[in-house]
Amino acid sequence: QKEVEQDPGPLSVPEGAIVSLNCTYSNSAFQYFMWYRQYSRKGPELLMYTYSSGNKEDGRFTAQVDKSSKYISLFIRDSQPSDSATYLCAMLETGGFKTIFGAGTRLFVKA
């Protein structure tokens, strides 16, 4: 079993839809939870991060962490065609520097 599991999709939604992306993990020592966005033929870029449990909001994006269930989510409100990309969850232990990445979910937002 992988340390981080993420459904690869693809996920196709109409413009304006609410998108929910999810990951599960097995290592209870993870304390940093990140979401990276990767456009086609580009390197990943950090979108958001959360420390420990709770929610974090940034514009149309909300990241949620439920440590009791070992489950993290990224919500995208009012999705736009420009949100079409691969979204990778990633996790890190406190004091660590080796990030563990999920497989990535490909998202397509249709105009």
Partner 1 sequence: DAGITQSPRYKITETGRQVTLMCHQTWSHSYMFWYRQDLGHGLRLIYYSAAADITDKGEVPDGYVVSRSKTENFPLTLESATRSQTSVYFCASSKRTESSYEQYFGPGTRLTVT
Minimum CB separation of residue 29 from partner 1 in Å reads: 12
Q: Indicate the residue among 34 and 76 with the shorter CB distance to partner 1.
A: 34
What does the DSSP 8-state code read for residue 16? T
Q: Indicate the residue among 8 and 16 with the shorter CB distance to partner 1.
A: 8
Q: Indicate the residue among 104 and 107 with the shorter CB distance to partner 1.
A: 104
Minimum CB separation of residue 78 from partner 1 in Å reads: 26
Interface with partner 1 (CB under 8 A): 6, 8, 31-32, 34, 41-46, 49, 88, 92-99, 101-104
The number of CA neighbours under 13 Å toward the Cβ of 66 is 9
Instruction: Please name every residue paired with 51 in a beta bridge, in sequence order, or none if there are none.
Output: 32
